[in-house]
Amino acid sequence: MKTIFNNLHQCHDSSMELFEGSIVPAFEKPQRAELIRQRINEVHLGPIVNASEFPLRFATAVHDLRMVAFIENAYTEWEQLGRTGGAIPYSFLARGCCCNAVPVSLDGRLAYYTFDVATPVTRTSWQAVKGSVDTALTAAKLLHDGERAAFALCRPPGHHAGTDYYGGYCFLNNAAIAVNAIVEEGSQRVAVLDIDYHHGNGTQEIFYRRDDVLFVSIHADPTHEFPFFSGHADEAGASDGEGFNLNFPLPAGTGWKVWSEALGNALSRIAAYGPDVLVVSLGVDTYHGDPISHFLLGQEDFIRLGKRIASLQRPTLFVMEGGYAVDELGINVVNVLTGYEGA
Amino acid sequence: MKTIFNNLHQCHDSSMELFEGSIVPAFEKPQRAELIRQRINEVHLGPIVNASEFPLRFATAVHDLRMVAFIENAYTEWEQLGRTGGAIPYSFLARGCCCNAVPVSLDGRLAYYTFDVATPVTRTSWQAVKGSVDTALTAAKLLHDGERAAFALCRPPGHHAGTDYYGGYCFLNNAAIAVNAIVEEGSQRVAVLDIDYHHGNGTQEIFYRRDDVLFVSIHADPTHEFPFFSGHADEAGASDGEGFNLNFPLPAGTGWKVWSEALGNALSRIAAYGPDVLVVSLGVDTYHGDPISHFLLGQEDFIRLGKRIASLQRPTLFVMEGGYAVDELGINVVNVLTGYEGA
């Protein structure tokens, strides 16, 4: 399997984040992508290909143009105000408030567009954000050109970014942008299987009213885990998309047995849908050693998981999402891919 | 004029806050109330009376009982998780997400109930929060017992706290709780005049559908200033409350001339309403020297302002809200009160 990589990922390095009341080193850091690349080389998974550049219209086909422009330009405005560090909000939307009017000031737009303080726009973040989208689009093009599978080693991740909001380390939704491009290229049906520990709230929202994209997610129960307000089992899609959104929220402490049962149900639904292409939002923060997550998958489980995904026998695009146990990150991610390849 | 004071305010001291991307000393700090008290003594404004305790039902008549209990108990849960510092969220509600289900985990409930990271629940915050409510209620009782005016030296402030959310340094809405108590005691009509630099989004929301409380606010245009999503001129109330909410958003750089024109319009509307009681949400962050605000009122303007409020000739309850130019805080606040008294 080919891996698509983009050196520009290093342009996003937020160094610190606010987590559980403390300022801590950022969990989502450049080392993540580098270690995965290193492991890919070690096990000779396949060629590592540089990402090509794609027009921004692929991103704005999925995201609000104003938000995309905001992410591109926020740091310049931030700096003009004499501020340092990454651009983050100090306030957020309160429930019940009017949210139709986009505020004008920078702090107001930050409050409008992002939902946490863990996703700062730094001086060079945009290069990484755009580069991450290009990584996913390059991989999608490989599939279009006949590859059976490809791995988009995206960084920053994307699945928490919605039509007009970003957060959870994600700016633009790489997977969703790739899915939309695949549909535009002529696929009738695309399935997204999101196996990150956290619910892919952005991807769900983007496709919630569409029946040409089936979104299936296995994740930590949002009543206990980020993103907290999305990912419940009763969120089944709306309008044309009703029945095309399927969530499997699982409790803390979930290990392979329960997780793989959910995977079996997810794969059955995907098989019944019969997608032209499968896009996997690949997070490995389901690993028992992950510092911010509470599932108990082991390294070998990731191989099994890859095999199970391969059993669908669909052209498959893996898009990198989360996973923060850095020392084992390369092993866990590549185990999924070798599991898939060896199936 | 009597001032109601509560030593318990010192129990809330969050020390640091995240503002414009940096961790800075908290703007809302115990010294604020102490300096105002000191100035009251210096100018012999009148007796300083200790707050009495009131049943919590006065607060839960306005706020969601679960949120009140949450504020009371959040720190204990926070500590049980081994965390230090004040309890703050690391994530917030994204637009368009389901917000009917209150999450179960502490981080989820923090994300649900508060809209910023500047309003931490510390080990002893609850004592100060409850004490601040008692301060407002004690002052309201003085009016009920025949005083012409009273000053509730509340801290923490309250006007950003809504029915079921808190933030902006505010936990429970002291002014709104007092207003509701005044109505319950038999007043047919109460007017709230909110002159804090920031829109009193919580107070507006609490009374938005009621015609027995007129809410009038003069504040920085929310398209540029916190709270960003509330305080526009077209927010006029709803249902029974339609026409009983009046916002005067003003641009950065507003000085006395423009501000006092808005005040004149606000007072005209209040006079036409003919309230039994006037409650003034008194913020002096309209001062030109305020570190986080952008209006240009001078010290003498606060005397004029007090006189103008007195011209309504209504029993008047002043409830302390914001104001962060600490060195001049006592002077500015007491100028309003002496202006009122001397009118």
Give the domain CATH number at B183. 3.40.800.20
Q: What is the pLDDT of residues A282-339, one digit of tens each?
A: 999 999 999 999 999 999 999 999 999 999 999 999 999 999 999 999 999 999 999 9
Contact yes or no for A228 and B115 at CB 8 A:
no
Instruction: Specify if B33 maps to a domain.
Output: yes
Contact yes or no for B93 and A95 at CB 8 A:
yes
Write out residues 98-117 of A within 8 Å (CB-CB) of B: 98-99, 101, 103-105, 107-108, 111-112, 115-117
Mutation pick from B15, B113, B228 vs chain A, by most beta carbons of A within 10 Å, is B228
CA distance A164 to A177: 13
Is the pLDDT reported for residue A278 higher than 80? yes
Give Cα A46 to chain centroid, integer Å: 23
Closest Cβ opposite residue A223 in set B94, B96, B104: B104
Is the pLDDT reported for residue A23 higher than 90? no
Angle between helices A30-42 and A326-342 (to 10 degrees): 40
Write out residues 21-50 of B within 8 Å (CB-CB) of A: 21-23
The residues pairing with B50 across neighbouring beta strands, listed in sequence order, are B5
Cβ distance A324 to A27 under 8 Å? yes
Chain A contact for B167, CB < 8 A? yes
pLDDT at A259: 98
Average pLDDT in the A12-34 region? 91
Q: Is the peptide bond before B156 cis (omega within 30 degrees of 0)?
A: yes
Contact yes or no for B116 and A165 at CB 8 A:
no
pLDDT at B96: 72
CA distance B214 to B220: 20
Q: What is the pLDDT of residues A110-158, one digit of tens each?
A: 999 999 999 999 999 999 999 999 999 999 999 999 999 999 999 999 9
pLDDT at B98: 60
pLDDT at A95: 80
Q: Which residues of A touch B85 (CB under 8 A)?
A: 21-22
Residue A96: closest C-alpha in chain B: B205
Instruction: Specify if B151 maps to a domain.
Output: yes
Percent of chain A with pLDDT over 90: 93
Residue B169: closest C-alpha in chain A: A91
Write out residues 172-211 of B within 8 Å (CB-CB) of A: 201, 205
Under DSSP, is residue A253 helix (H, G, I), strand (E, B) or coil? coil
Under DSSP, is residue A78 helix (H, G, I), strand (E, B) or coil? helix
Listed as ranges, residues in chain B with pLDDT below 50 are: none
Average pLDDT taken over every residue of chain A = 96
Q: How near does any CA of chain B get to the CA of A108, in Å? A: 6
Taken in order A203, A138, A285, A316, is the CA torsion positive or negative? Answer: positive
Chain A contact for B224, CB < 8 A? yes
Is the pLDDT reported for residue A94 higher than 90? no
Domain boundaries, position A329: 2-54+123-342
Which residues, at least 6 apart from B211, have a Cβ–Cβ distance to it below 8 Å?
Answer: B237, B240, B241, B243, B244
Q: Which of B160, B198, B199, B219 is catalytic?
A: B160
Instruction: Specify if A90 maps to a domain.
Output: no
Under DSSP, is residue A294 helix (H, G, I), strand (E, B) or coil? coil
The pLDDT confidence band at residue A20, using thresholds 50, 70 and 90, is: confident
Cβ distance B198 to B225 under 8 Å? yes
Q: Which ranges of chain A does DSSP label H, i.e. alpha helix?
A: 30-42, 57-60, 65-80, 106-113, 125-144, 174-184, 201-207, 256-273, 299-310, 326-342
Quote the DSSP letter at residue A8: G
What's the number of domains chain A is made of? 1
The pLDDT confidence band at residue A251, using thresholds 50, 70 and 90, is: very high
Determine the longest span between alpha carbons in chain B, in angstroms. 55
Structure tokens at A264: 């079996």
CA distance A19 to A30: 18
Cβ distance B302 to B339 under 8 Å? yes
Residue A164: closest C-alpha in chain B: B95
pLDDT at A330: 98
Pairing of strands B16-19, A22-25: unpaired
Q: Which residues of B touch A98 (CB under 8 A)?
A: 229-230, 232, 235
Contact yes or no for B225 and A105 at CB 8 A:
yes
Q: Is B44 a catalytic residue?
A: no
CA distance A54 to B199: 44
pLDDT at B99: 63
pLDDT at B195: 98
Instruction: Specify if A177 maps to a domain.
Output: yes
Count of CB pairs separated by less than 8 Å, A with B: 190
- Among B292, B162, B276, smallest CA distance to B230 is for B162
End-to-end Cα spacing for chain B: 13
Residue A252: closest C-alpha in chain B: B105
Q: How near does any CA of chain B get to the CA of A255, in Å? A: 20
What phi-psi label fits residue B206: left (phi over 0), alpha (psi between -120 and 50 degrees) or beta?
Answer: alpha
Per-residue exposure over A49-59, b if at least 16 CB sit within 10 Å of its own CB, e if not: bebeebebebb
